[in-house]
Amino acid sequence: MRNLKVIISYRGTNYHGWQRQDNAITIQETVEKAVSRVLNEKITINGCSRTDTGVHANEYCFNVHTSSSIPCRNFLRGVNGYLPDDISILSCEEADENFHARFDCKAKEYIYKMHCSESKNPFASDLMLHYRRKFDIELAKRASAYLIGTHDFASFCSSSSNVSTTVRTIYDISIEKNNDCVIILVKGDGFLYNMIRIIVGTLIWVNEGKLSPEDIPDILNAKDRQKAGKTALPHGLYLNKVYY
Protein backbone atom coordinates (compact mmCIF):
# COMPACT_ATOMS: atom_id res chain seq x y z
CA MET A 1 0.00 0.00 0.00
CA ARG A 2 1.40 3.38 -1.04
CA ASN A 3 0.94 6.63 0.83
CA LEU A 4 0.88 9.76 -1.32
CA LYS A 5 1.53 13.24 0.04
CA VAL A 6 -0.38 15.77 -2.07
CA ILE A 7 -0.28 19.57 -2.04
CA ILE A 8 -3.27 21.46 -3.43
CA SER A 9 -4.50 25.02 -3.78
CA TYR A 10 -8.11 26.13 -3.81
CA ARG A 11 -10.49 29.05 -3.90
CA GLY A 12 -13.04 28.36 -1.19
CA THR A 13 -15.80 30.67 -2.41
CA ASN A 14 -18.08 27.96 -3.79
CA TYR A 15 -17.58 25.44 -0.99
CA HIS A 16 -18.80 24.87 2.55
CA GLY A 17 -15.30 24.44 3.88
CA TRP A 18 -12.95 21.49 3.69
CA GLN A 19 -14.67 18.72 5.64
CA ARG A 20 -17.14 16.42 3.92
CA GLN A 21 -20.80 17.10 4.77
CA ASP A 22 -24.04 15.31 3.96
CA ASN A 23 -25.94 18.35 2.72
CA ALA A 24 -23.33 20.69 1.19
CA ILE A 25 -20.52 20.66 -1.37
CA THR A 26 -17.07 20.70 0.22
CA ILE A 27 -13.46 20.67 -0.93
CA GLN A 28 -12.85 17.20 0.54
CA GLU A 29 -15.81 15.63 -1.26
CA THR A 30 -14.88 17.23 -4.58
CA VAL A 31 -11.24 16.15 -4.36
CA GLU A 32 -12.09 12.63 -3.19
CA LYS A 33 -14.35 12.07 -6.19
CA ALA A 34 -11.61 13.14 -8.60
CA VAL A 35 -8.91 11.11 -6.85
CA SER A 36 -11.14 8.02 -6.69
CA ARG A 37 -11.70 8.20 -10.45
CA VAL A 38 -7.99 8.40 -11.18
CA LEU A 39 -6.99 5.66 -8.73
CA ASN A 40 -9.98 3.53 -9.74
CA GLU A 41 -10.83 2.84 -6.11
CA LYS A 42 -12.97 4.51 -3.47
CA ILE A 43 -10.67 6.41 -1.14
CA THR A 44 -10.75 8.76 1.82
CA ILE A 45 -8.17 11.52 2.05
CA ASN A 46 -6.66 12.86 5.26
CA GLY A 47 -6.49 16.66 5.27
CA CYS A 48 -4.11 18.83 7.27
CA SER A 49 -6.81 21.22 8.50
CA ARG A 50 -10.51 22.06 8.51
CA THR A 51 -10.93 25.33 6.68
CA ASP A 52 -14.31 27.04 6.98
CA THR A 53 -16.85 28.07 4.35
CA GLY A 54 -15.36 30.67 2.01
CA VAL A 55 -11.78 30.25 3.27
CA HIS A 56 -9.05 29.69 0.66
CA ALA A 57 -5.75 27.82 0.56
CA ASN A 58 -2.53 28.67 -1.23
CA GLU A 59 -1.02 25.46 0.07
CA TYR A 60 -3.02 22.64 1.63
CA CYS A 61 -1.70 19.12 2.25
CA PHE A 62 -3.51 15.79 2.29
CA ASN A 63 -2.35 12.20 2.18
CA VAL A 64 -4.05 9.23 0.61
CA HIS A 65 -3.38 5.48 0.84
CA THR A 66 -3.74 3.55 -2.39
CA SER A 67 -2.91 0.23 -3.99
CA SER A 68 -2.61 1.91 -7.39
CA SER A 69 0.81 1.99 -9.08
CA ILE A 70 0.10 5.24 -10.96
CA PRO A 71 3.19 7.49 -11.17
CA CYS A 72 2.94 10.74 -9.20
CA ARG A 73 3.19 12.82 -12.38
CA ASN A 74 0.25 10.98 -13.92
CA PHE A 75 -1.70 11.31 -10.68
CA LEU A 76 -1.23 15.07 -10.75
CA ARG A 77 -2.28 15.39 -14.38
CA GLY A 78 -5.18 12.97 -14.06
CA VAL A 79 -6.74 14.46 -10.93
CA ASN A 80 -6.38 18.01 -12.24
CA GLY A 81 -8.27 16.89 -15.33
CA TYR A 82 -11.31 16.00 -13.20
CA LEU A 83 -11.18 18.92 -10.79
CA PRO A 84 -13.04 22.22 -11.30
CA ASP A 85 -11.01 25.33 -12.08
CA ASP A 86 -11.05 26.57 -8.48
CA ILE A 87 -9.09 23.56 -7.12
CA SER A 88 -5.64 22.49 -8.33
CA ILE A 89 -3.18 19.73 -7.47
CA LEU A 90 0.25 21.38 -7.12
CA SER A 91 2.43 18.36 -6.31
CA CYS A 92 2.36 14.68 -5.44
CA GLU A 93 5.12 12.57 -3.88
CA GLU A 94 5.64 9.26 -2.14
CA ALA A 95 5.47 9.47 1.66
CA ASP A 96 6.32 7.15 4.50
CA GLU A 97 3.48 4.72 5.14
CA ASN A 98 2.87 6.28 8.57
CA PHE A 99 2.78 9.88 7.36
CA HIS A 100 -0.45 11.72 8.24
CA ALA A 101 -1.14 15.20 6.85
CA ARG A 102 -2.81 16.41 10.04
CA PHE A 103 -0.98 14.68 12.87
CA ASP A 104 2.54 15.18 11.44
CA CYS A 105 2.08 18.88 10.78
CA LYS A 106 4.55 20.94 12.86
CA ALA A 107 3.33 24.44 12.02
CA LYS A 108 0.91 26.37 9.84
CA GLU A 109 0.98 29.79 8.28
CA TYR A 110 -2.13 31.81 7.45
CA ILE A 111 -2.54 35.13 5.70
CA TYR A 112 -5.48 37.50 5.84
CA LYS A 113 -6.03 39.98 3.01
CA MET A 114 -7.83 43.31 3.34
CA HIS A 115 -8.68 45.86 0.66
CA CYS A 116 -8.65 49.17 2.53
CA SER A 117 -10.47 51.73 0.42
CA GLU A 118 -13.77 53.57 0.26
CA SER A 119 -14.22 52.03 -3.21
CA LYS A 120 -14.67 48.27 -3.53
CA ASN A 121 -12.45 46.14 -5.74
CA PRO A 122 -14.68 44.25 -8.20
CA PHE A 123 -11.88 41.74 -8.86
CA ALA A 124 -11.44 40.74 -5.22
CA SER A 125 -14.94 40.69 -3.74
CA ASP A 126 -14.58 37.08 -2.58
CA LEU A 127 -10.80 37.13 -2.06
CA MET A 128 -10.22 40.09 0.27
CA LEU A 129 -12.10 41.80 3.07
CA HIS A 130 -13.34 45.20 1.91
CA TYR A 131 -12.52 47.57 4.77
CA ARG A 132 -13.63 51.15 4.15
CA ARG A 133 -11.08 52.83 6.41
CA LYS A 134 -7.37 53.43 6.40
CA PHE A 135 -5.51 50.76 8.32
CA ASP A 136 -2.67 51.84 10.62
CA ILE A 137 -0.21 48.96 10.31
CA GLU A 138 2.17 50.39 12.92
CA LEU A 139 -0.66 50.42 15.47
CA ALA A 140 -1.60 46.87 14.47
CA LYS A 141 2.03 45.76 14.82
CA ARG A 142 2.14 47.14 18.36
CA ALA A 143 -0.97 45.17 19.25
CA SER A 144 0.04 41.94 17.51
CA ALA A 145 3.43 41.87 19.25
CA TYR A 146 1.63 40.92 22.48
CA LEU A 147 0.22 37.80 20.77
CA ILE A 148 3.60 36.35 19.77
CA GLY A 149 4.75 33.52 22.02
CA THR A 150 2.98 30.79 23.97
CA HIS A 151 -0.34 31.88 25.47
CA ASP A 152 -3.77 30.60 26.39
CA PHE A 153 -5.82 31.86 23.44
CA ALA A 154 -9.26 31.04 24.90
CA SER A 155 -10.31 34.67 24.28
CA PHE A 156 -9.52 34.16 20.59
CA CYS A 157 -11.53 30.97 20.09
CA SER A 158 -15.18 30.72 19.04
CA SER A 159 -15.53 27.32 20.66
CA SER A 160 -13.09 25.27 22.74
CA SER A 161 -15.34 22.27 23.29
CA ASN A 162 -13.41 20.00 20.92
CA VAL A 163 -9.87 20.72 22.12
CA SER A 164 -7.96 19.52 25.18
CA THR A 165 -6.17 22.84 25.62
CA THR A 166 -6.47 26.38 24.29
CA VAL A 167 -2.74 27.03 24.71
CA ARG A 168 -1.00 27.69 21.41
CA THR A 169 2.30 29.21 20.26
CA ILE A 170 2.47 31.98 17.67
CA TYR A 171 5.93 32.19 16.15
CA ASP A 172 5.48 35.34 14.12
CA ILE A 173 2.96 37.93 12.98
CA SER A 174 3.86 40.27 10.14
CA ILE A 175 1.72 43.04 8.67
CA GLU A 176 2.47 44.61 5.31
CA LYS A 177 0.74 47.23 3.21
CA ASN A 178 0.95 47.65 -0.55
CA ASN A 179 -1.18 50.54 -1.77
CA ASP A 180 -4.73 49.65 -0.64
CA CYS A 181 -3.90 46.02 0.19
CA VAL A 182 -3.03 44.96 3.75
CA ILE A 183 -1.73 41.43 4.35
CA ILE A 184 -1.55 40.00 7.86
CA LEU A 185 0.58 36.82 8.13
CA VAL A 186 0.41 34.59 11.21
CA LYS A 187 2.60 31.52 11.77
CA GLY A 188 2.10 29.16 14.69
CA ASP A 189 2.17 25.57 15.90
CA GLY A 190 -1.60 25.32 15.57
CA PHE A 191 -4.76 27.38 15.71
CA LEU A 192 -8.10 27.24 17.48
CA TYR A 193 -11.50 27.56 15.81
CA ASN A 194 -11.73 31.02 14.18
CA MET A 195 -8.53 32.10 15.99
CA ILE A 196 -6.98 33.92 13.01
CA ARG A 197 -10.24 35.67 12.14
CA ILE A 198 -10.69 36.82 15.75
CA ILE A 199 -7.11 38.10 15.82
CA VAL A 200 -7.80 40.09 12.66
CA GLY A 201 -11.10 41.36 14.05
CA THR A 202 -9.32 42.45 17.22
CA LEU A 203 -6.69 44.33 15.19
CA ILE A 204 -9.53 46.02 13.32
CA TRP A 205 -11.01 47.14 16.63
CA VAL A 206 -7.60 48.48 17.64
CA ASN A 207 -7.50 50.39 14.36
CA GLU A 208 -10.92 51.87 15.12
CA GLY A 209 -9.99 52.91 18.66
CA LYS A 210 -12.34 50.44 20.33
CA LEU A 211 -9.32 48.74 21.89
CA SER A 212 -5.74 49.88 22.47
CA PRO A 213 -2.65 47.75 21.75
CA GLU A 214 -1.99 47.64 25.48
CA ASP A 215 -5.37 45.96 26.06
CA ILE A 216 -4.16 42.73 24.43
CA PRO A 217 -2.45 41.22 27.53
CA ASP A 218 -5.63 41.72 29.57
CA ILE A 219 -7.70 40.13 26.80
CA LEU A 220 -5.41 37.09 26.82
CA ASN A 221 -5.51 36.82 30.61
CA ALA A 222 -9.32 37.08 30.67
CA LYS A 223 -9.76 33.82 28.71
CA ASP A 224 -13.12 35.23 27.65
CA ARG A 225 -14.21 35.38 24.01
CA GLN A 226 -16.34 38.45 24.73
CA LYS A 227 -13.25 40.53 25.54
CA ALA A 228 -11.64 40.18 22.09
CA GLY A 229 -12.74 41.80 18.84
CA LYS A 230 -15.23 40.62 16.27
CA THR A 231 -14.70 37.59 14.05
CA ALA A 232 -13.49 38.88 10.67
CA LEU A 233 -15.31 37.56 7.59
CA PRO A 234 -13.91 34.31 6.14
CA HIS A 235 -13.20 35.29 2.54
CA GLY A 236 -10.02 37.21 3.39
CA LEU A 237 -8.41 34.15 5.00
CA TYR A 238 -5.94 31.78 3.31
CA LEU A 239 -4.07 28.77 4.61
CA ASN A 240 -0.73 29.85 3.16
CA LYS A 241 1.74 27.11 4.07
CA VAL A 242 2.04 23.91 6.10
CA TYR A 243 5.28 22.73 7.70
CA TYR A 244 6.38 19.13 8.33
- Identified catalytic residue from 22, 52, 126, 224: 52
Phi-psi region of 36 (alpha: psi -120 to 50; beta: other; left: phi over 0): alpha
Q: How many residues does the chain have?
A: 244
CA 4 to chain centre: 22
Bridge partners of 114, per DSSP, are 129, 182
In the chain, DSSP assigns E strands to 2-10, 46-47, 56-66, 87-94, 107-116, 129-131, 149-152, 167-178, 181-188, 237-243
CA 76 to chain centre: 23
In the residue annotation, 104 being an active-site residue is answered as no
Q: How many CA atoms does the CB half-sphere of 170 hold within 13 Å?
A: 21
What is the dihedral sign for C-alpha 79, 57, 130, 179?
negative
Contact 115, 99 (CB under 8 A): no
Distance CA 126, CA 92 (A): 28
DSSP structural state of residue 14: G
Find the distance separating the first CA and the last CA of the chain, reported in whole Å. 22
The residues annotated with a catalytic role in the active site are: 52
